[in-house]
Amino acid sequence: GAGVSQTPSNKVTEKGKYVELRCDPISGHTALYWYRQSLGQGPEFLIYFQGTGAADDSGLPNDRFFAVRPEGSVSTLKIQRTERGDSAVYLCASSRVKTSRVNYEQYFGPGTRLTVT
Amino acid sequence: AQKVTQAQTEISVVEKEDVTLDCVYETRDTTYYLFWYKQPPSGELVFLIRRNSFDEQNEISGRYSWNFQKSTSSFNFTITASQVVDSAVYFCALTPFTNAGNNRKLIWGLGTSLAVNP
């Protein structure tokens, strides 16, 4: 089956502009995560969705960042008034979630490389 | 506090050598999961293994093996007879499993960059 897909693969924008990054998870995966990764670093957690609701948005750096998942499948990460420090690779991951006490692995998309000039 | 430490920033080996990547973790949770991911130059993170805190059996998958030792809070990864295609950044990650059980966000190490030279 298809893996996690992310669009666009690359996005170059000017400082102060608004951007939207899209994630299409693996079919049937109810959990969806956004991370961002800077060069030479591990991924940094941003937000976690269980179904349509954001179960944990504690990783969002400030109120310029917002994410939605209106139908419990595709998610969009929105960044307002972009700053040069927002430049990074934005990664989306999805996983199964069951009621049993198991943390399933997360499957990652190829990422969107955001460059703010 | 929850933390993952990968002390080796970069490792360089010659093809066919065995190499071990170290991972040490910190958590106060009694139930947790550990993961290894591979990130090749193409950039996409590839899942390698998941291990829960109640299962200390070592695991072998082809040339890959993992040694989980709760007593030392370590989850080390060994590649036997390394190949050039193994060149990548390898990440160790931790996710606690709280009673709420809802958030499985991954806590990552900084990664170890492995270069396998022909």
pLDDT digits over A21-78, tens only?
999 999 989 899 999 999 888 999 999 998 898 888 989 999 999 999 999 899 999 9
Residue B7 has a pLDDT of: 96
Residue A45 has a pLDDT of: 92
Residue A98 has a pLDDT of: 57
- The per-residue pLDDT of chain A, averaged, comes to 92
Q: Chain B within 8 Å of A95 (Cβ-Cβ)? A: yes
10-residue mean pLDDT series, chain B (118 residues): 93 97 93 93 91 86 93 96 97 78 77 97
- Which of B36, B106, B108, B113 is best to mutate for the A interface (most A CBs within 10 A)? B106
| Nearest beta carbon to residue A105 from set B42, B50, B109 | B50
CB B73 within 8 A of CB B21: no
Looking at CA atoms only, how far is residue A107 from chain B in angstroms? 7
List the single range of A11-20, A98-107, B66-75, B107-116 with lowest mean pLDDT: A98-107
Residue B75 has a pLDDT of: 96
Local structure of B84: helix, strand or coil: helix
Cβ-based contacts of A50 with chain B (< 8 Å): 102
Residue A8 has a pLDDT of: 97
Percent of the residues in chain A that have a pLDDT greater than 90, as a whole number: 73
Q: Chain A within 8 Å of B77 (Cβ-Cβ)? A: no
Q: Chain A within 8 Å of B64 (Cβ-Cβ)? A: no
Cβ-based contacts of A4 with chain B (< 8 Å): none
- Spatial separation of the C-alpha atoms in residues A35 and A21, rounded to whole Å: 12
Q: Chain A within 8 Å of B94 (Cβ-Cβ)? A: no
Residue A5 has a pLDDT of: 96
Residue A2 has a pLDDT of: 83
Looking at CA atoms only, how far is residue B17 from chain A in angstroms? 25
CB contact under 8 A, B102 and A55: yes
What are the residue ranges of helices labelled H in A10-71? none
- Spatial separation of the C-alpha atoms in residues A49 and A95, rounded to whole Å: 11
Cβ-based contacts of A41 with chain B (< 8 Å): 110-111
Cis peptide bond upstream of A8, omega within 30: yes
Contacts of A39 (CB under 8 A, 6+ apart): none
Give how far Cα A7 sits from Cα of A47, A69, A100, B15, Å: 18, 15, 33, 36
Give how far Cα A38 sits from Cα of A42, A81, B18, B25, B55, Å: 7, 19, 29, 22, 33
